[in-house]
Structure 1
Amino acid sequence: MSIWIYILIGVITFFLMEGVAWFTHKYVMHGFLWNLHQDHHFPKHHKKNGFFEKNDWFFVIFAVPAMTFYILGSLYANTLLLSIAIGITLYGLAYFIFHEIVFHRRIKWLKGWKPTYVRSIILAHSMHHQHHSPENGECFGLLIFPYKYFIAELNKKR
C-alpha cells in the first residue's frame, strides 16, 4: 500500500480518538471511575498533594492501546497497526498539550497570544470544570466542542 494510505489511517485514528475520549470522559471518568477523576475537578486538591493527581492514571490507561498496537505492529511488521498507534499517540500528545499545558497550566511555558480556536477550547473546558460532580456535566470532548463557544470567543474580539 502507498505511504499516503498509512498517513490517512493515522489521521483518521487521530480524529476518531476525540470520540473515544469524549465517550470515556463522559461514561467512564464521570461514571464508575469517578474516584480517579474526581480530584481533577478540585484544583486545590492536587496543589496540596503535589504535582500529580489520581486523574493522571488515565494517561497510563490511554497509553495501553497505543503501546499494544506498537508492539503488535512491530512484532508482525504490520504497518496498519503502527499507523493506528501513531494516530493514538498524536492524539494523546495533542490532548496533553491542550489539556495540561494550555488549559490547566501544569507546565507553565505557554503564555501570551492564543488563536480563537484555542481560546474556545479553554472556554468550553472551563464550562466542564464548573461541575464538581459526575452528573450534569458538559463539554466532555477537548478538541471538538459546541460551536457556541467558538462564536462567544469570536464575539469577544469585536
Structure 2
Amino acid sequence: MKIFLWIVIFLATFCIMEFMAWFTHKYIMHGFLWSLHKDHHKKDHDSWFERNDAFFLFYAVVSMSLIMIGNTTDFWYGWPLGFGILAYGIAYFFVHDIFIHQRFKFLRNANNWYAKGVRRAHKMHHKHLGKTDGECFGMLFVPFKYFKK
C-alpha cells in the first residue's frame, strides 16, 4: 500500500508542478520578480546563464530539502514529493531549455504535431518582451489552439 501511495503522491506532485510553473510564471516572474525573469525575454548579457535561472535553484532547494527530510525523519512522503518536483524540473529543462530555447544543440529536428504546438505557443509568449501582455501557460498543458495539422 505504501508503494501505491508513493506513486500517487509522486504523480500528483508532478502534475501540481505544472500549475505551480504557470502560477509562478504569471504572478511572480511577470510580477514582483520581473527583474530576475526579464533577461529570459530580452537578452542583455553575454553569459550562458541567466538571472532567470534563479527560479530553477529555488525549486531544486525545495526538492532536495524534501528528499533529505524524507530520508532522515518519519516524513516518508518527503521522498515522493521531492522526487515529483525533481522529475518535473527535469522534464521542464528538457522541454523548455533544450527543446525550445536550444541551450544545448540537440532535439532540433523534432517536428511532430505536439512539438510544433509547444514551439508555436512559446513563440507567442516571447513575442511580448515586456512584463505584461505575454500569454502564460504550462509546459505540458498547452492550449489546443496552438496545435494545428
CA distance in 1, matches of 2:136, 2:28: 15
Q: Over aligned residues, Cα RMSD in angstroms?
A: 1.4
Please tell me the residue identity of whatever aligns with 2:47.
G
The two structures have a TM-score, normalised by structure 2, of 0.93
1:18 paired to 2:15:
no
Runs of 5+ consecutive residues of structure 1 not aligned to the other structure: none
| Residue 132 of structure 1: aligned partner | 129
Instruction: Give runs of ≥4 in structure 1 deviating > 6 Å.
Output: none
Paired residues for 1:75-94 under 5 Å: 75-94=72-91
More helix by share: 1
Deviations 1:104-147 (A, max 9, x none): 00000223233311221111111110111111110332221111
8 Å CA contact 2:9–2:80 kept in 1: the answer is yes
CA distance in 2, matches of 1:78, 1:23: 27
Please tell me the residue identity of whatever aligns with 2:10.
G
Paired residues for 1:1-158 under 5 Å: 1-43=1-43, 45-46=44-45, 49-150=46-147, 152=148, 154=149
Q: How many residues align?
A: 149
Give the fraction of aligned pairs with identical amino acids, expressed as a percent: 45
Please tell me the residue identity of whatever aligns with 1:72.
I
Superposed displacement of residue 79, structure 1:
2.8
